[in-house]
Structure 1
Amino acid sequence: NSGTWLQCFYASHGYECYSSTRCLFNSTELQDIEFIRSYYYNKIEHVRFSSDVGRFVGYTEFGIKEAEYWNKDQAILAQMRAQKETYCQHNTDLWYANVLSKSVKPSVRLHSTMAPGYHHPAMLVCSVYDFYPKLIKVSWLRNGQETTSDITSTEEFANGDWLYQVHSHLEYMTLCLPGQSDHVCPLLDNSTVRSDPSAQAVNSDLCPSFLLWLQLTDFSLNNHNIPYSQLSL
């Protein structure tokens, strides 16, 4: 996890230089926290202070000179070293309490669509929206057993409001022989679904979600836009 604070300095032709402050952490314990202050000029980081190193390090000719100058000032070094506790540890407590410990259960939409080259719906799409935290797994079950073939999934990507979405596609043209029926359903797994009993209803609503029955010329899923709540056939 990380938190970033950005300070910009303006010039008439744009941003000339700026500094960023970052806190890298795995817990609220001081030994699991790193404080980093970076200074940039024309988008290039030229000097950095890291609490793990305990001093400034320069990355350009000018940055090396700045680091040498600041490292001679014990008052500046003491002030920067203290930021790990006074700035980072203080804020990690707030981030864990107000953001990182929170979760939002996903909403799910299941529908059929056409795969390229087909004239009938030939692909199931499970769209998972508005969940937090980011990590989630979408699996597909066929007759109660997980299937791993004919599946493509997107990466989790951000909505821009702390929430995420992901989409998983299952090609079902090859699942059934004519006259054969299969129970097919998606299954979600993330920390919200595991820990929140009300969120587990998402999976119970989806699975078993529908009976897939394919015949040579007649497809039971001929609607290109079927909400998962209506797929109990």
Structure 2
Amino acid sequence: MSEHAAELRERGFTLLEGLIPADEAAGYGAALEQQWRRLGEPDLVSQEDVILGPGVHVSPVGMTVAGILERVPELAKVLLRPELLALFTDLLGPGFELEFSAGVVSDETRGFFFWHHHVGGIDAEDVRGRAYPRFERAERLGCTLYVTPLDAEQGVMLVWPRRVDDSTAPPFPPGREPWPGATEVRAGAGSVIVFDQGTWHAVTPMARSGQRFFFGFFVRRAGLPPMRRSDPGTVAALAANPALRGAYGGPA
């Protein structure tokens, strides 16, 4: 088992600092910014979902572009990094499947991004209103590439560490305030954070004007039922890229 896999099993997350060269990550961010400009440079925060087009909406998280691998196909290079493929194999076993990809752009108008986890899906919608489940092993992972740093100016990530087989219930009521004792994660541009689905995390506000960008991917263990929310763009990206399909297309 790799050091990163062991850390995720014990703490619920692991940081791959600077996995992607900063200039490469900046290119992905520029492509996402171009998506925003093509849509007329809309406001980047809304407390109610505002649909801008197929797979694109603005919400409290920012402007989310689903199926980003179809819109920015060069992003596949990130998911084909040997370090990530080895980590996913360690944690999920062979035949893991890519089920969602998205790019998110936000700015200083986004406040404290509330505590959340991803049990059962991107918004945990598959378990909402039910008891918090436990898992014996990693079944679904979230993988986030930060184009802009996690730091005092851009905002830092707060994480509540937990073992993968611990309860997924929150230690405090989820909301828009830091939890006492949370781990603060700072990282440079091009860093990747991988989460177990049940690990609670939040992000502090920006301390200056400007935009920040990240890309998120969800990967599930082979045979795990898919999340309710479908992502046609990710399906199309897998169909168009044989290398990506070979790595994330599920059992042969």
Q: Same fold (TM over 0.5)?
A: no
* Structure number with higher strand proportion: 1
Bigger relative contact order, structure 1 or 2 (CA pairs below 8 A, ≥6 apart): 2
TM-score by length of 2: 0.21
Q: Which has the larger radius of gyration?
A: 1
